[in-house]
Amino acid sequence: MNVNDEKMIPEIVARLEKAWNAADGAGFAQPFAEDADFVNIRADHFKTREVIARGHQGIFDTIYKGSVVRYQMAGVREIAPRVLLVHVNATLQVPAGPFAGTHNSLFTMVLVQNENEWRIAAFHNTLVA
C-alpha cells in the first residue's frame, strides 16, 4: 500500500457518503466493481453495480428520503496484494417514515485494484445491536 493508495481509501468512503447525502444512487454505486456483491442490514444480497445503483436510488427516494449518513473509518488491512479489507462505522439519521431515527452500523468492504484503479468488490453491512 503506497501513499496514493492510502489517500484512495478515505476518498472512496467520502464519495459513498457524499452520494448517499445527495440521494444519488448511481453516484453511490460508482466506486463499486461492475460485478460487486452487496449485502445490506436485512441480509438482502445484491449483485452488480447496476443493481446496487437502482436499489439505493429506491431507498433514497422512499424509506431513507432526506436521510444523512456519516462514515468513520474503523480499520484498513492489506489481506493480499492489491486487496484491502476496510471496516467503516456508519451513523444514519432518517428524518421521517417507518425508519425515522438514528441507526448505527458497521460495514466491511473489500477493495481490489485492477489496472491502477481501486474498486469495491464486496460490501456487507450490519446494524449495531
**What residues make contact with its own copies under the rule CB under 8 A?**
35, 37, 39-45, 74-75, 77, 79-83, 85, 87, 104-108, 110, 112, 121-122, 124-129
Output the smallest distance, CB 47 to its own copies, in A: 8
Three-state DSSP class for residue 88:
strand
| Residue among 48 and 93 whose Cβ is closer to its own copies | 48
Q: Of 83, 74, 93, 69, which is closest to residue 10 (Cα–Cα)?
A: 74
Output the smallest distance, CB 73 to its own copies, in A: 13
In sign, the C-alpha dihedral spanning 10, 16, 18, 21 is negative
| Residue among 22 and 117 whose Cβ is closer to its own copies | 117
Output the smallest distance, CB 53 to its own copies, in A: 19
| Residue among 15 and 87 whose Cβ is closer to its own copies | 87
Output the smallest distance, CB 127 to its own copies, in A: 6
| Residue among 53 and 120 whose Cβ is closer to its own copies | 120
Amino acid at 100: A
The conformational region for residue 62 under phi > 0 = left, psi -120 to 50 = alpha, else beta, is alpha
* Residues ≥6 apart with Cβ < 8 Å to 104: 89, 90, 91, 92, 127, 128
